[in-house]
């Protein structure tokens, strides 16, 4: 049975054989990357990665809002955006410190790394609240 978008030889007339094979390779690479991530990444790091994605999406939404609506209370926008950037940096630092591959670089216990993360967040948010006005 021939699909509407393909010729009888299986060549997509829009992309051609070469483009379809490249797309297939990219999909294969992404699947392998996902499988490796799911099997070899500890749950603690997956949780931090989920938080990183959340903070990144929050920053993107804030920036899109700034572009679409405007920056009337500029201090508020700047505080919120700096807060998301700071949270992302602190969480990325926590992830690096908790990664088993980096234990030789950092002589910090996981509890100490998390305490530093929480302390830095408190300082960051005090600065952000102070900057709002």
Owning domain of residue 9: 1-40
CB 89 within 8 A of CB 117: no
Confidence of residue 128 (pLDDT cuts 50, 70, 90): very high
Sign of CA dihedral 49, 50, 54, 55: negative
Please give the share of the chain, as a percent, with pLDDT higher than 90. 59
Same domain, 62 and 119: yes
Structure tokens at 7: 């010729």
Instruction: State the Rg of the chain over Cα.
Output: 22
pLDDT of residue 13: 59
Please say whether the beta carbons of 113 and 97 come within 8 A. yes
Asked if residue 61 and residue 105 are part of one domain, the reply reads: yes
Are 58 and 106 in the same domain? yes
Residues 109 and 55 in one domain: yes
> What is Dmax (Cα atoms) for the chain?
67
Q: Are residues 66 and 15 in the same domain?
A: no
Is residue 83 within 8 Å of residue 125, measured between CB atoms?
yes
Give yes or no for residue 85 having a pLDDT over 80: yes
**128 and 74 in a common domain:** yes
Show the tokens assigned to 91. 């969480």
Which has more pLDDT, 123 or 105?
123
Are residues 100 and 36 part of one domain?
A: no
Same domain, 57 and 90: yes
């Amino acid at each position: 049975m021939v699909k509407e978008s393909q010729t009888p030889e299986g060549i997509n007339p829009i992309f051609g054989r070469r483009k379809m094979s490249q797309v297939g390779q990219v999909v294969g690479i992404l699947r392998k990357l996902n499988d490796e991530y799911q099997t070899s990444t500890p749950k603690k790091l997956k949780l931090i990665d989920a938080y990183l994605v959340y903070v990144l999406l929050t920053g993107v939404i804030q920036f899109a809002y700034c572009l679409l609506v405007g920056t009337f209370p500029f201090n508020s926008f700047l505080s919120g955006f700096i807060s998301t950037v700071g949270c992302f940096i602190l969480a990325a630092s926590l992830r690096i410190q908790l990664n088993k591959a980096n234990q030789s670089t950092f002589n910090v216990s996981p509890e100490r790394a998390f305490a530093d993360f929480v302390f830095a967040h408190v300082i960051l948010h005090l600065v952000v609240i102070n900057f709002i006005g």
